[in-house]
Amino acid sequence: MTDGLEIERKFLVEQPELSGLKIVRRAEIIQTYLNKGENGSQRRVRRILEGDKITYKYTEKVFYTHVTRHETEREISREEYERLLQDRDLSLVPVVKTRYRFDHLGQMFELDVYPYSSRLAILELELSDPGQKIIFPEDVNVLKEVSDDHEYSNAALAVRGAFPESAERYVSGETE
């Protein structure tokens, strides 16, 4: 179980060529949002397939700022996962993604690739300090930081089932 402060920055990127990254893990994730907790917390469950192993996780988050939040996460059984799915938020669709974890100069990045976009992905990095310097791999084209843009949160993706329409502008070089 993990329980603590999470500092994370997120970026909209063009899908990089995976062969140029030092991938250490690949996981197929189905993320389902549950109804909010009593304290207004965001609750979700995940089904994670890595290789031939399936694990299930329950996460609860309380947000403080756009990059900091308190997160409690624990592994759960398949039975508890299925029971918790009964409390899923029916206004949202499950978020399906492939997550690639890769190391670049001692920084562990997570690249989330979604089935509804062959051009865009989300790159995340957990930090020890909100102002920590980030060094991106040369093969990754960062289009926009989206840490404080709710439109790119997994919860917003669960509302639409896709990136915002404006996202494609960044690939073509247009900006807002």
Mean local confidence (pLDDT), 2-18: 85
pLDDT tens digits, 132-157 = 899 999 989 999 999 989 899 988 99
If pLDDT is split at 50, 70 and 90, which confidence band does 174 have?
A: low
> What pLDDT, on the 0 to 100 scale, is given for residue 160?
92
> What pLDDT, on the 0 to 100 scale, is given for residue 123?
98
Mean local confidence (pLDDT), 89-115: 96
The least confident of 18-32, 60-74, 146-160 is 60-74
d(CA 41, CA 136): 32
Helix (H) or strand (E) holding 145: strand 142-145
Does residue 105 register a pLDDT over 70? Answer: yes
Mean local confidence (pLDDT), 26-53: 95
pLDDT tens digits, 80-98 = 999 999 999 999 999 999 9
> What pLDDT, on the 0 to 100 scale, is given for residue 173?
63
Domain boundaries of the chain, sorted by first residue: 2-171
Cβ atoms of residues 25 and 100 within 8 Å: yes
> What pLDDT, on the 0 to 100 scale, is given for residue 115?
95
Q: Which CATH number fits the domain 2-171, given the four candidates 3.40.109.10, 2.40.50.140, 2.40.320.10, 3.40.50.2300?
A: 2.40.320.10
d(CA 102, CA 169): 27
If pLDDT is split at 50, 70 and 90, which confidence band does 24 have?
A: very high
Contacts of 104 (CB under 8 A, 6+ apart): 21, 22, 135, 136, 137
Instruction: Record the pTM.
Output: 0.88
Structure tokens at 113: 């690739």
If pLDDT is split at 50, 70 and 90, which confidence band does 3 have?
A: low
> What pLDDT, on the 0 to 100 scale, is given for residue 175?
55
